Amino acid sequence: MSDGGSVDVRGVVKRYRDTLALDDVTLHVPGGEFVTLLGASGSGKSTLLGVIAGFTEPTSGSVAVDGRDITKVPPYRRGLGMVFQHYALFPHMTVWDNVAFPLRRRRVRGDELRTRVEQALEVVGLGALAKRLPAQLSGGQQQRVALARAIVFRPRVLLMDEPLSALDKRLREQLQLEMKRLHRELGITFVFVTHDQEEALTMSDRIALLRDGRIVQAGTPEELYERPSSRYTAEFLGESNLFPGRDAGTVLVVRPEHLGVLPQGESLPQDHEAYDCDVREVVYLGSGLRVEVELRSGQRVVARTAARGPHVPKPGDSAIVHWHPETSVVVSDDE
Amino acid sequence: MSGMASRRLVRASLGALAVLTGLYLVLPVFIVIPMSFSDSAFLEFPPKAWSWRWYENFLGDETWVSSLVSSVQVGVLVTLCAVVLGTAAALGMIRGRYPLKALVSALVMAPVLVPYVIIGLAVYAVFLDLGLTETLLGFVLVHTALAVPYVVITVSSALMSFDRRLENAAMSLGAGPIVTFARVTLPVILPSVLSGAVFAFVTSFDEVVTSVFLSGPDFTTLPVQMWSGVRVRIDPTVAAVSSMLLLVTLALFAVAGLARLARRVRAGGAKERRSS
């Protein structure tokens, strides 16, 4: 039994004058899952989060938490935790008062208030900074305070709107791990918004990829990466190579790690598909090589191969790029 | 002439201009304050002998003191009303979505643009019928209308730079609209509300034109008393009162300025600590 609430978005449409920010979005988030809403800017991912949080009223459709319809419930009665992109800490309150804010709204007082605030600060490792003002903290510390403030009242769902995008890479990666840990420890549902596909792949149980106000594909990171349903998904997540499909309106997607590069004249493994090509660039990555080749058609293709072996490609080589058909995916060409 | 030398010349003349402008603005102060300490029975500058007699005269005179009390009463009430109304109006003007918003904003700001004589005359005609001339209520009503725009200006500029995500955050944490305003929005914009309050008080405390229409034997404010003092008999008491008015105004703005400085120092200290 999980402590996380399930979230159900059904047929949500949000129209602003003449733009459709959300176009009939339906999404089921099982209790306790870490779900990421992934998309480019303008895809509607933040609008969708705003609808779940209650800041944005949908034009039509409904939102339910644990089966209870909350479409008409104001945000302050939804009891969902929320972490904002730029932290949104109250500048006139100390760290301690910021974290105590949601508890005071719930009439928690005295020893219980003190214990719970201290616990929440302990969880994010900021116990020593309780008396500081937000302006006296670094970006990473501020985001930890925001996190403590959002979980201190034990919400069953935590919403996060690009919480790490204002931080530098190292800090971001560190906080990604902390959030994963927090998700495990708290057992509550996380709905996380990001435009960073790598972040989505590393953190989520499931990803919903949005484009132009619609969910293009939803599934586990593996499903989205290995079995994209469309060209858009294939290109948005990770690197991909596209070849013309057999049927009109389809393309063949092959990930760089599934491509091999052999010198001209070498015999191909059985059943492999192949194109003649010229090697253009070879970059040593430590874990392997990134080989960029140019097909006869002029198209550029990227392969990742082992750095050692009998045939290490060099720029200028005539070569064959090949793959096993099972590693390729036929998807609809939605570009 | 080299570029460096001409630049220096420009800087020097700009500096001189700044000093002259400053002098032009504060010179009246340097005349009024010494005159108020004169021993002469007439307004005299520079004074030949010094004394406190005009200050004593002011404090010993029933009409002067009662007009001071009236002015303070009006000023305090006007400040309260203008801060509440002006803050609410600013919220409506910045946040509200309704038709004819531009017209509403123009109406709120109108008292600054309409000549005070016209306001005074119009109000006099109506208030006479309503029996509101020479009353505390009458003064408060008129001065509040004059003071509201100043509160609106300072508060709306604070609201424009206010980060509304703070309100969303408060609501996501369980605070309803009223608590959100009281605990988050208001404390953040408070410095601007307070400086609006200072402007409101000073606007009322200094107001002569409309007050002349409303004043009479039953109720008079200090500036009107001064004005009639100058008109009837040239009495250095006026200089003493002016000096005191100046002191009050200066003190109010100094407090507002110091408060702002203290905040900046605190924020600056915060930044230093963060980088260390």
Mark yes or no for CB contact B173/A149 under 8 Å: yes
Mark yes or no for CB contact B172/A138 under 8 Å: no
Best of B163, B172, B179 to mutate (most A CBs within 10 Å, chain A): B172
- Residue A106: closest C-alpha in chain B: B174
Pair B175, A74: CB distance under 8 Å:
no
Pair B66, B53: CB distance under 8 Å:
no
In the sheet that holds A241-244, the strands lie side by side as A241-244, A250-254, A329-332
Q: Are strands A273-284 and A214-219 parallel, antiparallel or unpaired?
A: unpaired
Of A74, A84, A92, the CB nearest to B169: A84
Mark yes or no for CB contact B173/A102 under 8 Å: yes
The pLDDT of residue B268 is 57
More confident position, B3 or B212 = B212
The CA distance from B132 to B111, in Å, is 19
The CA distance from A285 to A42, in Å, is 33
The pLDDT of residue B47 is 82
CATH number of B63-235: 1.10.3720.10
- Residue A100: closest C-alpha in chain B: B173
A positions 139-178 inside 8 Å of B (CB): 149-150, 153, 159
B23-32 — which CB contacts under 8 Å span 24+ positions?
B29/B246, B32/B239, B32/B242, B32/B243, B32/B246
The pLDDT of residue B2 is 65
CB-based contact (8 Å) between A133 and chain B?
Answer: yes
The pLDDT of residue A162 is 92
The pLDDT of residue B273 is 46
CB-based contact (8 Å) between A16 and chain B?
Answer: no
Distances in whole angstroms, Cα of residue A29 to Cα of each of A21, A33, A50, B30: 21, 7, 16, 75
B261 band by pLDDT with thresholds 50, 70 and 90: confident
Domains of chain B: which residue ranges?
A: 1-29, 63-235
ipTM value: 0.84
Mark yes or no for CB contact A86/B163 under 8 Å: yes
Q: Is A205 helix (H, G, I), strand (E, B) or coil?
A: coil
Query: Which residues of chain A have a CB within 8 Å of the CB of B166?
Result: 88, 90-91
Q: Kindly report the nearest CA distance between residue A126 and chain B, in angstroms.
A: 15
Predicted confidence (pLDDT) at residue B1 exceeds the cutoff of 80: no
Segment-wise mean pLDDT, segments of 10 residues, chain A, 335 residues: 83 93 95 95 94 96 95 95 93 96 95 95 90 92 94 95 88 90 93 94 94 95 92 91 84 91 86 91 89 91 86 88 90 82
Token reading at A91: 């500048």
CB-defined contacts A:B, below 8 A: 76
Q: Kindly report the nearest CA distance between residue A180 and chain B, in angstroms.
A: 22
The pLDDT of residue B267 is 61
Residue among B68, B222, B191, B208 nearest B146 (CA):
B208
CB-based contact (8 Å) between B166 and chain A?
Answer: yes
Query: What is the model's pTM?
Result: 0.81
The pLDDT of residue A24 is 94
- Mean local confidence (pLDDT), B230-234: 75
CB-based contact (8 Å) between B165 and chain A?
Answer: yes
The CA distance from B23 to B17, in Å, is 10
The pLDDT of residue A99 is 97
CB-based contact (8 Å) between B274 and chain A?
Answer: yes
Which of A323-327, B139-143, B244-248 has the weakest average pLDDT? B244-248
The pLDDT of residue B274 is 46
